[in-house]
Amino acid sequence: MYTRRTPRSASGSGGLHRRTRNRAKPAAGLLATAALLVSACSSGSATTSAASAAAEAALVALPQATPAALSSYYGQKPAWRGCGVPGFECATLKAPLDYAEPSSGDIRLAVTRKKATGPGKRLGSLLVNPGGPGGSAIGYVQAYAGIGYPAEVRARYDMVAVDPRGVARSEPVECLDGPAMDRYTQTDATPDDGKETDGLVAAYRTFAEGCGADAPRLLRHVSTVEAARDMDIVRAVLGDEKLNFVGASYGTFLGATYAGLFPDRAGRLVLDGAMDPSLPARRLNLEQTAGFETAFRSFAKDCVRQADCPLGGKGTPPERVGENLKAFFEKLDTRPVPTADGDGRKLTESLATTGVIAAMYDEGSWGQLREALTSAMKENDGSGLLVLSDGYYERDADGAYSNLMFANAAVNCLDLPSSFDTPDQVRGALSEFQKASPVFGEGLAWAALNCAYWPVHATGEPHRIEAKGAAPIVVVGTTRDPATPYRWARALAGQLSSARLLTFEGDGHTAYGRGSSCIDRTINAYLLRGTPPTDGKRCS
């Protein structure tokens, strides 16, 4: 289930896609987990039946009283310490590995905070999560939110983040070392024959086996429901009666899950770039594929208006721009382009596709993408697209990868059953995915096969989240969001009993802090004064 919050890129700073305020970059490449959601039902009829079942199923709230078996976790006293980042302090908390059997062992959760700076009365803690799954909330708050959120918000709230279980500093799942990940990300993700299909399946198996060997017990307990329960422990330890939370992208699923489990403890929740938890993963994959096509068409229309567009001249229709890009990808399939990479990597079709997808998250990266495509297509230098791809995968200059890809798959494959069980099922769905996106559909369909080889079975299913009794929750959707299509925000707002839908008419992934003063003012008023927007409010 991949979604990830991404900032505008003000200066085209490499593959990080960061705003000058240093926000988190997008994550999860095609092969790793199919941009966003890579799990679901295995056939069209199964997808329909699963969707129907989800329409009836709803997340059930937990009892309001804290079970005695969890009292020691809720009563922890954090030992705050400096953590090398000015203004921030860090602590380690414990949570039960298995909430069904709390005595079976603990998991360590890394937490950081930056205390409210004042002036004004402190409003408590504001937890933030940038999405993923697999994105480091601690990295996000220390690099951006804790210093880049509006000053008036930081003045009134302690800015807090906890890395979810299995992510970054909270007992991270590890699967492959750097060289093995390099091989994995270069695997042909659009197989043309049986041999290439076998190679892709082997790559998925190797990845899954590596994850299983590293953390066989942990893999069974990194679900979104468990991460949401961990957040309630953090809330209690921080001394807050209610949880205040800003979640972006996958973070909206985490926040909505919290509200569904603990509606009486849900405070001011902002769910930006919302997901629809009621859909089976194949449907989610398909709709996100269409979302990337929508974003690409916006890019294509802008590209042909620029003098440096390598995909077409002024007036070239988006369909033709897409055909030109697809032809370039197909050329790379047989003849990868050299790069300046110190490890000798060439730009393959898979890496190039990931680089293009990375730029779809943020229209501020479109200029960088045009430059990278021009270098690769006309100058035989794939370095620019490789930089974009490496930023997407969180690969550093030394060839090391963060655990983003590993945690992403671990959570996705536990939260929902696999999209496809066999390569033949993928082939049967190719036309549907290619119709949704002629440019990206084939690769995204094959990417949805990865959970078929996961070493543990899914524990989650599609379901509605109603959170009856919760205070007003702000759900934010962007009309041309590539990773979380706008209809998902409308769907989640329709499920949550107290939701207020806030719409940003624009491009890119998520809306808060991305340049719309209307969006920012509206969310700030909610966070600071508890005043939610009128349901259906629209901003541009």
**Residue numbers annotated as active site:** 249, 481, 509
- The DSSP 8-state label assigned to residue 265 in this structure reads G
Strand 266-272, strand 243-248: pairing: parallel
> In whole angstroms, what is the distance from residue 406 CA to residue 135 CA?
11
Query: Residue 327: which residues within 8 A CB-CB, separation 6 or more?
Result: none
216 CB neighbour count, 10 Å cutoff: 11
- List the Cα angle 507/133/476 in 5-degree steps: 40
Kindly report the backbone phi and psi dihedral angles of residue 290, in degrees, each rounded to the nearest multiple of 5, phi listed first.
-65, -35
Question: Which of 19, 235, 12 lies closest to 109 in space, CA to CA?
Answer: 235
Q: How many Cα atoms sit within 13 Å of 188 on the Cβ side?
A: 18
> In whole angstroms, what is the distance from residue 195 CA to residue 208 CA?
20
Question: Which of 233, 203, 208 lies closest to 71 in space, CA to CA?
Answer: 233
Query: How far does Cα 534 stand from its chain's mean position?
Result: 27
Strand 81-82, strand 124-129: pairing: unpaired
> In whole angstroms, what is the distance from residue 468 CA to residue 316 CA?
50
Q: Strand pairing partners for 92?
A: 110
Give the type of residue at 300. Answer: A
> In whole angstroms, what is the distance from residue 47 CA to residue 307 CA?
45
Q: How many Cα atoms sit within 13 Å of 523 on the Cβ side?
A: 31
Q: Which residue has the tokens 């750097």?
A: 178
Question: Which of 232, 233, 227, 230 lies closest to 253 in space, CA to CA?
Answer: 227
Torsion of CA 451, 452, 454, 458, to 10 degrees: 70
Q: Is the dihedral of CA 518, 357, 339, 404 positive or negative?
A: positive
Q: Which residue has the tokens 């790559």?
A: 203
- List the Cα angle 399/405/407 in 5-degree steps: 130
Query: How far does Cα 274 stand from its chain's mean position?
Result: 11
What ranges make up the beta strands (E) of 139-242? 157-162
